[in-house]
Structure formats: C-alpha cells, structure tokens
Amino acid sequence: MTVPTSSRSISTMYAKTLPNLLIGSQTRVIYQGFIGKQATTDAQESLAWGTKIVGGVTPGRDGLHLGLPVLPSVRQAMEKLKPDATAIYVAARHAAAAIQEAIKAEVPLIVAVAEHIPLYDMLRIHVMLRAQSKSRLVGPNSPGIISAIGRCRTGFQPLPCFLPGRIGIVAKSGTLSYETVASTTRAGFGQSLCIGVGGDVVPGTDLREALEVLGHDESTDAIALAGEIGGTAGMDAASWIQAYHSRTKSPKPIVGLIAGVIEAPNRVMGHAGAFTTAGEPDALAKIAALEEAGVTIISYPAKFGEVLRARLQVHAIPLRSGSRSGTLTRRQFHTAAERQQRYFYLPEDKCLDLLRTAGQVNCATYTGHGVRRLLAVGIDRSARSPCILASPTIEQDQLIQTIQRSPLDTTVDTLREVVRSLVSTFHEGEAFLLTTHLFGFDDAAFNSSGRQGVIRDVATGTNRLNNEAERSGIVYIRLWGDGPVGTLVNGAGLAMNTATSETVKRGFELILEDPRVRVIFVNIFGGLTLGDMIAKGIILAFNELSLKIPIVVRIKGTNEKEGQQLIADSGLPLYAIDDFHLAAAKAIELSLSTSGRPDIS
C-alpha cells in the first residue's frame, strides 16, 4: 500500500480554501449520515439553536427527515440544497469515503467528527486536498467548528456553554476547547468562532491555519489557543504568531495552553496524534516557542477567562504589546483511564524480525561498538506526508536540532536500496514510525478496516492492563513516580457515544489496580459524554466495588445538572466540586492527608 507524497510546503491551492472556515448565520449545513441516531440528536439541537440546516445525505435513501430533504448522494445534495458545509456523521470505516465524496462534490467546508480513521486513508485524502481549491477539511477527530455569534454549529459541542462574544478559540482537543469556552463565558466575554482542529495525526486544518483565519477575522478581538504534544503544530503556530506580531500594528492578544507537560514515553496520550516521536518538540519546547512569540501561557484552561481579561483593555480593544508571563504546575496525577485507543508499538526484537523478513534489511541489536545514527521513516505532520528522517545522533536531547526531514523521493543513492526496503515495510505495515528499534503502527487500520491483523497480533499481549482496558474501549496510561492521584477523564470524540455506566465502573477497576492510588479524581467535560451517565457509573462503582478511598467528582457539559443532582442525591461521601482548580486542589489535599492505601477488598 503506497501513498503519494509531496514537498514540505503547504499547497497554495488548498490555502485558498481558508476563508471557508468563516461560518455564520447564513451558512447552509447538511449532514452526511443524516438519519443516524447521533446526527439526528445533534441536528435537532443545532436547529433549535438557530443553525441553518437544509437537509442531509444517506446513501440509498430519498425523502424527509426532521422535515428536511434526505438525498442519496452529496453531489445531488450540492445541486439541490446548495450547502456551504457538511458535517460527516458516519462510522470510521466509512468516513474516508464520505470525505472523498464531499471533496469530489466540492462542498466548501467539510467537518469530519469521526475518530479512528486509518492514518493512511487520511494521507490519501490529503493528496486530494492539495490538488484542489474548493473544499476545506476540519478534522477528523474534531468536535467541529461553531460560530457563537452566528449560531451556526457543525459538530457536537455542548451548546449551553457558548455565549456570543469576541474571543476566537482554536484547539486540538475537543474537551479542552469546551473548558476554554466555559472559562471565557464565565468571564463574560463570549466567543466569536471556535475551531476544533481535531486530534488527528494529519488534520485537514492545523493550528497555524486556524490562527490565520482568527487573526484576520473582524469579529474576533482576542484568541485562545489550546495545543498539545505531538508533531510540530505548536512550533508552526509560534512562527506564525511571531510574524503576525512583527507585521501588525495592533495585534490581537493571544493566550495559550499546551497539554502534555507530563507524558508517558511511546504512548498515545488520548488523541490519535498526541504522541511525540524522534526529533519532535515536547510540550515544554512548544511552550517556550509560544512565549518567545509573545503568547501568554497558562497552565490549565480554567484560567483563560481571567488572563484574557488582563490582556484586554476596556471595551475589548486588543493591547498593543504582548505579555510573556505564566508558569507551569507539575501535578502528581499518574494513572489515567479514558476512552480511545489508536496506536501500538513493536519492541526492538519484533521490529528487527519484521525488517529482516519483510524489508530484507541486514540489521541486528546494537553491540555497544561504533557510532549510532538515526535513519527512519515517519510522518511529516506539517506537510501531511510520509518522509525520511535522518540524524547524525540518536540522543533525544539533540535530535530536534540535528534531525532532517526529506520527502520520500529524495533519498541518497548509496542508501537507496536500504531506504526503499524501509519505505516498503513502512507503507505495507501502515506505520507512523519505523526505525530499527521501534515500529509504531496505526491500530485504526485494523479496528476500522480489518487491515494489519498479523502485525497487531504481534504487538498485543504484552501488557495485561492495557489489553483489558482496550477491550473495554478505554485507554489506560501509567505514569512514573509516586504520585497518589488516579484520574478518570473523557475525550470529546464520536466514540464517546458508546460509553456507558459500566465503562465508567471498569475505569475505576483499572485505576484501583495501581497500589499507588490513594485518591481518584473524576474530571468530565462532556459534549457527547452525558453527565448523568457518568454519575450513574460513579455510583455503580462506589456501590459494587466498595470504594474506601476519597473520590473527587467534577462533571460539566452535557447533562451536567442531571449528573450533579444524581451525585447530590446519592448520599455517598463524594467530593462534588464544580470548579476545576478547586477540584484539583482538593484531590491533591486528600492525597497528602491520606497516609496509606485503605483496604478496598
């Protein structure tokens, strides 16, 4: 399986579609997968809110749904309904084809909310996107894009959090975007446009492109930026911001956050693209670059409102100079369970076997003699294309400065045969990273499309808790250190609509397997995740597992009042706290006051 590649530069043709992100009250929206349960629910909410939904598409269907036309193809919908945007609500195994259909029909804005779309399917889609100038993609793995001032939603963001205003928001994480929205609403500012670029490895719109739109948007006075680990999007954003400040007389203030200061090596931290590979900057490097560019950095999203207030003058006029303040807090949270699983890594011995048999590469374990250099095949996330990675050293602290990325068609003659074998193995195994000691591959290729079963079988079976978590649709991440706080959190992806109260209980069981845990902090901000479902799961876990350690609960977002009421009515000794800062502080306080792990048997 091969994927066409291109140079590192972003297509100027595709760049012409950036204005398509400026949705508003007149934006005509359709849904692909219109008659599905989740699409129906979200469409009803959006219609009631004021979004101009004009119909939808379901293959093989023709008629009405919610009183609106249903057509069998996107092309017919374009001809008859004249949409400006489509929200794609189909399962991951059908999502790539649905995106391609929308591109071919030249829908101006395509919003893909599905997660677990195979990486190689997305790379092929980017080849299509680079060659055209009509359609702009947001996502996949995105909560969507929403105009609070235009009351237009193409996605599943929790509407009660939004307030029409003048703050533009761009975020990799859906849940972090909800927290940012809630913070700016509490501060009384409200939002103009919120772009959820999504947590995918190669999203259709990245942070830099979203910033460019908000930077020129006359309805936006200040910008909140929520990034995370993985790739170079944060560095690209910092470069754009620095250039923006130098060429703009009165630049809009930008407040930023980078999630993932503490990460587990070789683990995906929730989102498909939330992992750091060879030569990529970590969270601290991105934070330093953004601060150098003039961004005010905060440590968690609840601070956005108050810090934006400090950055804005009376009447919401942008300040002329940027502040470079902000400190980071390393909290002692170490065990986390959440929805979503995406990637696996093969250990060195398995990787060497694969290279010898499939790639015909002469390789062996390092003997301790000679100089080690890096030659790998990976993904250039900025170019949205596979690339060759090369460095004269393998030392992690030097890779960022020394690593070179090249398109796959520019290999050195003397290495051509080796590189060709590496590239062949990389493509055939649907990898995102291939070195002689590590092979990272996309599990979505198996889960969504049934591909790469043999490689997946080799990778699984090494960690009992990880495997048990995966079977329950949960990501289990064990961090280092002696921190006594375990966390149960949610993602914002479409897969969250399959979570149940039993899933929540199973999350508690996994966390309690770690003997270090003396306090559990449940932090939920739901879009698709229902607050009452989470509350029922907490109560179920408390009763059936005979929990005897403190539980701090914060439930926000969809059905938050119902969830909070269930917790209050349960009579259980739970610490229900609405504010994130206070809830986190309480969890830390309880962990310090609990000298040992109580018997929970």
Pick 585 or 463 by higher pLDDT.
585
Number of residues in the chain: 601
pLDDT at 215 over 90: yes
Please check whether residue 385 lies inside any domain of the structure.
Answer: yes
pLDDT of residue 535: 92
Question: Closest Cα to residue 508, out of 484, 492, 532, 488?
Answer: 488
**369 Cβ neighbours under 8 A, 6+ residues apart:** none
* Last residue in a domain, options 412, 442, 472: 442
Same domain, 43 and 106: yes
Residue 479 binned pLDDT confidence (cut-offs 50, 70, 90): confident
What is the rounded distance in angstroms from the CA atom of residue 481 to the CA atom of residue 484? Answer: 9
Cα 522 to Cα 489: distance, rounded to the nearest angstrom: 6
For residues 113-137, average pLDDT: 92
Query: Is the separation of the CB atoms in 115 and 92 below 8 Å?
Result: yes
Maximum separation of any 2 CA atoms in the chain, in Å: 73
- In angstroms, rounded to a whole number, what is the distance separating the alpha carbons of residues 575 and 578? 10
For 245-258, what is the mean pLDDT? 96
Assigned domain for 260 exists: yes
Percent of the chain predicted with pLDDT > 70: 79
- pLDDT range class, residue 57, cuts 50, 70, 90: very high
Both structure tokens of 424: 């062949």
State the pLDDT at residue 152: 98
Same domain, 90 and 3: yes
**CATH label of the domain that carries residue 240:** 3.40.50.261
Q: Are 594 and 518 in contact (CB under 8 A)?
A: yes
Q: What is the DSSP string of 226-240?
A: EEESSSSHHHHHHHH
**pLDDT value for 338:** 46
* Lowest mean pLDDT segment, chosen from 334-343, 481-490, 525-534: 334-343
Question: Is 574 found in the same domain as 564?
Answer: yes
pLDDT band, very low/low/confident/very high, at 330 (cuts 50, 70, 90): very low
Structure tokens at 189: 């500012």
Given 385, 409, 442, the domain boundary residue is 442
Q: Between these two residues, 33 and 348, which has the higher pLDDT value?
A: 33
More confident residue, 598 or 225: 225
Q: Residue 226: its pLDDT value, please?
A: 96
Tokens of 322: 């940027």
Please check whether residue 390 lies inside any domain of the structure.
Answer: yes
Q: Which residue has the tokens 């105009």?
A: 147
One domain for residues 21 and 115: yes
Structure tokens at 557: 């977002």
**Has residue 349 got a pLDDT over 50?**
yes
Comparison of pLDDT for 59 and 442, the residue scoring more: 59
CATH code for position 55? 3.40.50.720
- Domain assignment present for 453: no
The DSSP symbol for 523 reads: E
Least confident of 113-127, 224-238, 472-486: 472-486
The answer on pLDDT for 4 being more than 60 is no
Q: How confident is the model at residue 332 (pLDDT cuts 50, 70, 90)?
A: very low
Confidence at residue 2, expressed as pLDDT on a 0 to 100 scale: 39
Check whether residue 304 and residue 361 sit in a common domain.
Answer: no
Pseudo-torsion of CA 68, 20, 497, 99, nearest 10°? 80
| Distance in angstroms (rounded) separating the CA atoms of residues 391 and 277 | 13
Cα–Cα distance, 434 to 431 (Å, whole number)? 7
Residue 502: in which H helix or E strand, if any?
A: helix 501-512
The reply to whether 528 and 438 lie within a common domain is no
Residues 313 and 379 in one domain: no
Same domain, 211 and 74: no
Q: Which residue has the higher pLDDT, 399 or 10?
A: 399
State yes or no: pLDDT of 448 exceeds 50. yes
> 265 and 161 in one domain?
yes
- Give helix 560-570 / helix 531-544 axis angle, nearest 10°: 20
Tokens 């807090």 belong to 329
CATH of the domain at 424: 3.30.470.20
Q: Mind listing the pLDDT tens digit for each residue in 83-92?
A: 999 999 998 8
What is d(CA 533, CA 503) in angstroms, rounded to the nearest whole number? 10
Residue 193's pLDDT band, with cuts at 50, 70 and 90, is very high
Residue 119 located in a structural domain = yes
Q: Which residue, of 408, 442, 476, is where some domain finishes? A: 442
**Overall domain count for the chain:** 4
17-33: average pLDDT: 98
pLDDT at position 186, please?
92
Q: Which residues contact 527 (CB under 8 A, 6 or more apart)?
A: 143, 156, 157, 158, 174, 175, 178, 492, 496, 557, 558
Q: How far, in Å, CA of 128 to CA of 424, rounded?
A: 22
User: Which range has the worst mean pLDDT, 215-219, 339-343, 573-577?
Assistant: 339-343
Q: What is the 3-state secondary structure (H, E, C) of 437-455?
A: CCEEEECHHHHHHCCCHHH
Q: Tell me, what amino acid is at 552? A: V
Statement: residue 334 has pLDDT above 50: no
Lookup result for tokens 């879009």? 527
CB 383 within 8 A of CB 409: no
pLDDT tens digits for range 225-243: 999 988 899 999 999 999 9
CB-based contact 23:109 (threshold 8 Å): yes
Pair (302, 191) in one structural domain: yes
- Is 242 part of any domain? yes
pTM above 0.75, yes or no: yes
Please report the pLDDT score of residue 395 as a whole number.
75
Question: 365 and 316, same structural domain?
Answer: no
The more confidently predicted of residues 327 and 583 is 583
- Quick check: 129 pLDDT over 70? yes
Residue 265 tokens, joined = 């090596």
> CA-CA distances (angstroms) from residue 352 to 48, 224, 346, 359, 362?
57, 45, 10, 10, 9
Reading the block at residue 584, the tokens are: 């986190």
Q: CA angle at residue 386 from 257 to 423, to 5 degrees? A: 140
Which residue among the candidates 126, 271, 334, 427 is catalytic per the annotation? 271
**Rounded to a whole number, what is the distance in angstroms from the first to the last CA of the chain?**
51
Burial of 200 (0-12, 13-18, 19+ CB in 10 A): buried
What is the signed CA dihedral for 427, 124, 460, 500, rounded to 10 degrees? 180
Q: Tokens 């994130």 map to which residue?
A: 580
56 and 109 housed in the same domain: yes
Q: What is the pLDDT of residue 24?
A: 97
> 53 and 30 in contact (C-beta within 8 Å)?
yes
At 316, the pLDDT band (50, 70, 90 cuts) reads: very low
| Whether 271 is catalytic | yes
* 599 within domain boundaries: no
Domain of residue 106 covers 1-140
Judge contact between 344 and 272, C-beta under 8 A.
Answer: no
Mean pLDDT along residues 467-472: 76
* Mean pLDDT of the residues in the chain: 83
The answer on pLDDT for 341 being more than 50 is no
Give percent of the chain with pLDDT exceeding 90: 52
Tokens 């680079």, residue located: 130
Listed in sequence order, the residues at least 6 apart from 488 whose beta carbon sits closer than 8 Å to its beta carbon are: 336, 337, 338, 504, 507, 508, 511, 520, 521, 522, 523, 524
Query: pLDDT tier at 601 (50, 70, 90 boundaries)?
Result: very low
Is 331 in contact with 484 (CB distance < 8 Å)?
no
Among 39, 7, 6, which residue's Cα sits nearest to residue 113?
39
In a domain, 71, yes or no: yes
pLDDT surpasses 70 at 342? no
* Strand 222-228 to 152-155 pairing: unpaired
What letter would DSSP give residue 189?
A: -
Where helices occur in 200-331 by DSSP H, the ranges are 207-216, 233-247, 283-292, 304-311
Q: What angle do CA 260, 262, 264 make, to 5 degrees?
A: 95
